Structure 1
Amino acid sequence: MHWLGIAMMLVGLYLALKVAGTVLKLLMWILVLVGAYLFAAPLLGLSLPF
């Protein structure tokens, strides 16, 4: 394998890990927001979606 191919593979792996980290952060925020809504909805008199 040529050195340029190895460099491109490493950059691609780095970008894939960055994208995976961003997706996991977004999922964590969604879980936090849903959990906060499920906790606060009865206290505020809002209806639950289920």
Structure 2
Amino acid sequence: MDFRFAFKVIRMAILGFWIIIFASAGLAIVCPVRAAVPRCEPMIGAETTACAP
């Protein structure tokens, strides 16, 4: 058993898990903001938060 390989797999699984959580949280925050501020829809990323009321 190659423990380095197992560690890499576990680390990737944890990383993927956190990416999914942060992506879900980001969508939960961005979607209502974009719905409330349609004029900012073309903007992406940090600029969207600048448009938020």
Q: What TM-score do you get using the length of structure 1 for normalisation?
A: 0.62
For 2:29 and 2:6, the matched residues in 1 are separated by 35
For CA contacts below 8 A with separation 6 or more, give which structure has more relative contact order.
2
Aligned length: 36
Q: Over alpha carbons, which structure has the higher Rg?
A: 1
| Identity among equivalent pairs (%) | 17
List runs of 5+ in structure 1 lacking aligned partners: 1-8, 46-50
Q: Report the counterpart of residue 24 of structure 1 in structure 2.
A: 14
After TM superposition, the runs of 4+ consecutive aligned structure 1 residues lying more than 6 A away are none
CA RMSD in angstroms, aligned pairs only: 1.6
